[in-house]
Amino acid sequence: MNKTVQNIALRTLATLQAKINGTPSLTNRKGSYAPKTVRKAISQARRDIEDLTRARTLALKAENPKQIQLQDIFTIISDDAHLTSQMNNRKEQTIAASYEMLTPDKKTDDRLTGIISDLELIPDLFGYMLDSEYYNHSLVELSVEDNTPKIELIPRRNVVPDFGRFYPDTSFDSFLEYRKAKEYKRWLLEFNSGHLGILNKAVPHILFKKFAQSCWSELCEIYGIPPRVMKTDTRDPDMLDNAEAMMRDIGAAAWFIIDTTEDFEFAQGVSTNGDVYNNLIRLCNNEMSMLISGAVVGQDTKNGNESKEKISMEITDRLVQSDKRMIENYMNSLVIPALYRIGWIPATTSKFKFTAAEDIDRLFDMTVQIMPHKKVSDKFIKEKFGIEVEGDRYEIVQPTEPTQPEKKDNDGKTEKGDKLNFQ
């Protein structure tokens, strides 16, 4: 008991010291919720619309909802290559974006920006925030292992965000109310979309796509090996048995032996080339592109054009900007206060903000256009475009105001000439 109290006192002292000195406190701390999760096997049986309807009904129950079946379906459909590509294209634009901490007077807080950038878990944290929109929610737990900050996702099938429940073992009805725990909003962070998730809308299209691919593969097998027909005397049991044995054993052999009274030929194979399946697969892919990216991007079109692709990229960019705004809200309202409470960052009034991406091509064109009229510093050109420049290529001589030569009157006195008028 004394040792436990001593450990708590040491952790509290380390946290207070971190808050005072502005240095992160990385005292080892194991997770409280993630280790309690009992791992269960996910059925890989073929899913259909009936399974989806049943999973949605269970997730939306009024009294005791559970997301076990729905999250299992989400896990299975996440293997789709097209869906994975669309999700990663949108997520990576946000995760790879640069960010900074801004003080109330809109100046960069370099010190705090460096502290947060040094946390290796930040990219994973951004990913879990974005995944909450696809999977309905993300409940993560922070910990420290070997003086290294760690982050771990609580399995979504074990969490019911509607009531704030965590089921260590999904086979039983016993649960923990994680929102009432002392770790909540400190070591335990929740990102909740408030709906069943974007993947809930993608499930039917992926199920139809899997069905079309399966049928198309069967068509390829039938088309590649056409049916074989053998004519024999079916009234003779011996000849019928021999014919059946030969048809069964011939396999891929290029030769066979038949009686003179028998006849062997290949039947007419399937004449279709599978366009019906190809069209269904293309439709499903286009629907997933519209759902994730807001438009059918270039690699998904047979004949694209520049104007269409620009519009599609602008639509996707607006969705990415929305993702960034969501992360900024989570960071400022939840994550930054939590990191301060556990002693990973010092007290601060700075706000998390993604830096605005500059259009370098457009900025370069504007710079070239203004250079004949205004002087552009070498430092600006080097910082913005990475071009080493020094001085001007030639000096521009400023024109002087022209005047007439001096004239003398009859008395020999100097008389100034009139200024030239260029009007």
Same domain, 244 and 279: yes
Amino acid of residue 250: I
Same domain, 94 and 231: no
Distance of CA 264 to the CA centre of its chain: 58
Q: Residue 375 belongs to what domain range?
A: 362-398
Q: State what percent of residues in the chain have pLDDT above 70.
A: 77
pLDDT the model gives residue 228: 74
Report the b/e string of 194-216 with b at 16+ CB within 10 A. Answer: eebbbbbebbebbbbbbbbeeeb
Q: Which helix (H) or strand (E) holds 351?
A: strand 351-354
User: Is the pTM above the cut of 0.75?
Assistant: no
Domain count along the chain: 3
**Alpha-carbon torsion angle 75, 81, 87, 91, nearest 10:** 110
Q: What is the rounded CA–CA span in Å between residue 165 and residue 152?
A: 17
Of the residues 268, 286, 304, which one is the last residue of a structural domain? 304
Average pLDDT over residues 68-87: 92
N-term to C-term CA, the chain: 99
- In the numeric block, which tokens belong to residue 145? 């292992």
| Higher per-residue pLDDT: 8 or 381 | 381
Longest dimension (CA), the chain: 150
325 and 188 share one domain: yes
Range in 45-59, 198-212, 331-345, 355-369 with the lowest mean pLDDT: 355-369
What pLDDT was estimated at residue 10? 44
| Residue 302 pLDDT exceeds 70 | no
Q: Are 269 and 380 contained in the same domain?
A: no
Binned at pLDDT 50, 70 and 90, residue 8 comes out as very low
| Confidence at 200, pLDDT banded by 50, 70, 90 | very high
22-36 tens-digit pLDDT: 555 567 777 777 877
Please calculate the CA angle 213-85-152 and round it to the nearest 5 degrees.
115
| Within-domain flag for 405 | no
* Contact between residue 281 and residue 212 where contact means Cβ atoms under 8 Å apart: yes
* Token representation of residue 376: 């552009």
Any domain includes 409: no
163 within domain boundaries: yes
Does the residue 414 lie in any domain? Answer: no
pLDDT of res. 365: 76
Residues 168 and 246 occupy one common structural domain = no
In a domain, 241, yes or no: yes
Share of the chain above pLDDT 90, in %: 42
Judged by DSSP in three states, 176 sits in strand
Residue 7, pLDDT > 50, answer no
Q: Compute the distance between CA of residue 369 and CA of residue 16 in angstroms, rounded to an integer.
A: 56
